[in-house]
Amino acid sequence: MKNLKHDDPQILQLILQEEERIERTIDLVSSETHTPKSILEEMGSVLNHKTIEGYPGKRYHAGCEFVDVIETLAIDRMKELFLAEHANVQPHTGSAANFAVYFSVLNVGDKILAMNLSHGGHLTHGHFASVTSKCFNFQHYNVDLTSELIDYHALAVQAKEVRPKMIVAGASSYPRLIDYERMSQIAKSVGAYLFVDMAHIAGLVAAKLIPSPVIYADFVSFTTFKTMTGGRGGVILCRKKYADEVDKAVFPGTQGTSAVSNIAGKATIAKLAKEANFINVQRNTLDNAKLLAAELAGKNYRLVGGGTDTHQVVVDVTTKGLSGSQAEKTLESIGIITNRNYIPKDTGKRASGLRLGTGPISVRGIESDYVIQIANIIDKALMEKDNQEVLRELKRNVLDICKQFPVYK
């Protein structure tokens, strides 16, 4: 990065430090990944220059002959990968994708039924702090407080009362599978659209390891940087009959020009997703999550939802006398990166959960015995959080594992 060294050595220094941090820590953040170098190359390329208002063949600027091919490749590959009738690859993020889905077929003030944030939903599912809640009349469904799973019967009853125009399925923090067929029956029974937000699990769906919502949902959105392992961005899939509305809702509805560099990343990850390496990583992601869950349960940690079917393991750390924040900070101090999360029993400001995801460790090749070691390290750190000597030792153990599994060789 010799040019950056000249123009802004301070930022270069911080990038190098960030690289070092990534190599020296174990990333268990459920919404992160380590992106292939090829995609980082695309993101740092001249593709950043082009302003592309509109869609391939229908642009508002000249000079799009090459970027049109890139966007068309991204669209076609995403459609093929997910067996979707239409794809829009322009959303800047998952949130932007969600805004566009809402504005594609709904009017301001329409009713939407979505999952409560502390029960697993996302901010863009009508949380009061999100602008989505100011535009639409969101009502929320909860999980059953005992099983911490969606109660489809209760949801069907609630849908009949609320009569929403759209039902949102999909979550930020819900480690079990969602029954999309049941969701679509519920949506149909009240004449609502079904929108599935598969932000976290798109990679697992792409590898065909967990069920796909695409045939059941009118709209599907996802992020390309969680289990999907591509660069930052969002994608919308939908039925052909909504293609025009979705495209108009993205541009000019809610975005201006999109980032061609990120669209290229989406094209590349959709290509890589059909290859053996990607599918292996996703399989390891699932196996690692199951193993991590079993190890922690064996040490008497209470798992939200009773376990995992995905990359996520959500732990109620209060049963071990900690808050989510204390657990997050303790683990950060030894180089294990996680995040605190609300869980269904939370009603106040304090998060009782620690959300773990096995995407990034699986990308760097960590598996089996090493996952058991990580579970042991997590437990020991949390149980001895005030013992600096133990924490120092655990930090060395984390570093040893990191050195054996470099993120970028």
Ligand X SMILES: *Cc1c(COP(=O)(O)O)cnc(C)c1O
The residue ranges that bind ligand X (CB under 6 A) are 31, 93-95, 98, 122, 124, 170-172, 197, 199-200, 223, 234
Amino acid (1-letter code) at residue 40: L
Taking CB atoms, the residue at the shortest distance from ligand X is 94
User: What is the rounded distance in angstroms from the CA atom of residue 409 to the CA atom of residue 331?
Assistant: 25
**Which residues does 390 contact at the CB level (< 8 Å), separation at least 6?**
380, 381, 384
What token pair was written down for 333? 């101090």
- Minimum CB–partner distance for residue 222 and ligand X (Å): 8
Q: How far is the CB of 199 from ligand X (least distance, A)?
A: 3
166 or 382: CB nearest ligand X: 166
Q: Which residue has the tokens 């809610």?
A: 254
Q: Which is nearer to ligand X, 94 or 324 (CB)?
A: 94
245, containing H or E segment: helix 243-248
Distance of closest approach, residue 173 Cβ to ligand X, in angstroms: 8
CB 248 within 8 A of CB 94: no
Query: Residue 226: which of 84, 87, 97 has the closest Cα?
Result: 97
The smaller minimum CB distance to ligand X, of residues 269 and 398, is found at 269
Q: How far is the CB of 10 from ligand X (least distance, A)?
A: 27
How far is it, in rounded angstroms, from Cα 204 to Cα 281? Answer: 9
Instruction: Supply the minimum distance, in Å, between the C-beta of residue 115 and ligand X.
Output: 9
**Nearer Cβ to ligand X (177/372):** 177
Buried b (16+ CB within 10 A) or exposed e, 182-196: bbbebbeebebbbbb
Q: Minimum distance from CB of 59 to ligand X (Å)?
A: 25
CA dihedral 169, 175, 179, 180 (to 10 degrees): 40
The number of beta carbons lying within 10 Å of the beta carbon of residue 34 is 17
Nearest residue (CB) to ligand X, 225 versus 278: 225
Within 13 Å, how many C-alpha atoms sit on residue 71's CB side? 25
**Nearer CB in complex with ligand X: 194/375:** 194
Considering the complex, state which of residue 33 and residue 330 has its C-beta at the smaller distance from ligand X: 33
DSSP secondary structure letter of residue 112? E
Q: Rounded to the nearest whole angstrom, what is the least distance from the CB of residue 365 to ligand X in the complex?
A: 25
